[in-house]
């Protein structure tokens, strides 16, 4: 996938989410936290989430799929892109996917099924959209549950957008800068 295709795809997700919100008149929560607080808590949440995930990868047998193969493919894709493109992709994914999955889908489902089923179903769909293996599906679904719950509790769409975008930035930075964390290269002696 070219960088242009990836950017258009991620931007398109946001457009689809925004159109669904407008066409279906889905109420969007975004008054729970002021801008600075959303950025602070989003960055802190993203860092804590990533650290927790790194710890989980250290548990033997927890991820039975070939996680190394998946990380190698993602790293190869990311290495072909420049820093500005990676930054733009992370921002577009954070904004677009949260518009679609949290604001539009979870918001619409909450009106149809109730709050808890909406968070659960939107999270499973988020996991399926990120499916590359069963383990990755579970991780993405778990992240969806976390972001969906934070959206409900905080009442702030901007908070989960920042959380998602910063999480992606941290994940890509670590994958590119510290590939040995994922078993992709030998550790460098200090």
What is the secondary structure of 126-178 as a DSSP string? HHHHT-SSHHHHHHHHHHHHHHHHHHHHH-BHHHHHHHHHHHHHHHHHHHHH-
pLDDT (0 to 100) of residue 188? 52
The per-residue pLDDT for range 172-184, each reduced to its tens digit, is 999 899 888 776 7
Longest pairwise C-alpha distance within the chain: 57
Of residues 63 and 95, more confidence is placed in 95
pLDDT exceeds 80 at position 98: yes
pLDDT (0 to 100) of residue 52? 94
The per-residue pLDDT for range 9-38, each reduced to its tens digit, is 999 999 999 999 999 999 998 777 777 899
Helix, strand or coil for residue 29? coil
pLDDT (0 to 100) of residue 11? 94
pLDDT exceeds 60 at position 186: no
In the structure, what pLDDT confidence band is assigned to residue 189 with cuts at 50, 70 and 90? low
pLDDT (0 to 100) of residue 134? 86
The per-residue pLDDT for range 76-97, each reduced to its tens digit, is 889 988 899 999 999 999 999 9
Domain boundaries, the chain: 31-182
pLDDT exceeds 80 at position 1: no
pTM of the complete model beyond 0.85:
yes
pLDDT (0 to 100) of residue 159? 95
For the stretch 5-12, contacts whose Cβ atoms lie closer than 8 Å and that sit 24 or more positions apart, written own/partner, are 6/81, 6/85, 6/89, 7/85, 7/88, 7/89, 7/92, 10/89, 10/92, 10/93, 10/96, 10/97, 11/92, 11/96, 12/96
Average pLDDT, whole number, for the chain?
A: 90
The per-residue pLDDT for range 126-163, each reduced to its tens digit, is 999 999 888 889 989 999 999 999 999 999 999 999 99
């Amino acid at each position: 996938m070219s960088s242009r295709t990836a950017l258009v795809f991620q931007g398109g997700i946001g457009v689809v989410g925004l159109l669904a919100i407008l066409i279906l008149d889905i109420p969007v929560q975004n008054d729970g936290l002021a801008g600075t607080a959303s950025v602070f808590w989003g960055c802190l949440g993203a860092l804590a989430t990533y650290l927790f995930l790194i710890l989980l990868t250290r548990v033997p047998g927890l991820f039975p799929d070939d996680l190394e193969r998946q990380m190698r493919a993602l790293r190869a894709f990311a290495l072909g892109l420049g820093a500005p493109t990676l930054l733009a992709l992370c921002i577009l994914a954070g904004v677009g996917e949260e518009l679609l999955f949290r604001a539009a889908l979870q918001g619409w489902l909450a009106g149809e099924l109730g709050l808890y089923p909406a968070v659960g179903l939107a999270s499973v769909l988020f996991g399926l959209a990120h499916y590359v293996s069963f383990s990755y599906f579970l991780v993405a679904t778990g992240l969806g549950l976390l972001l969906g719950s934070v959206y409900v509790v905080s009442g702030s769409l901007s908070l989960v957008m920042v959380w998602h975008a910063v999480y992606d930035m941290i994940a890509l930075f670590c994958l590119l800068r510290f590939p040995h964390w994922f078993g992709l290269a030998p550790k460098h002696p200090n």
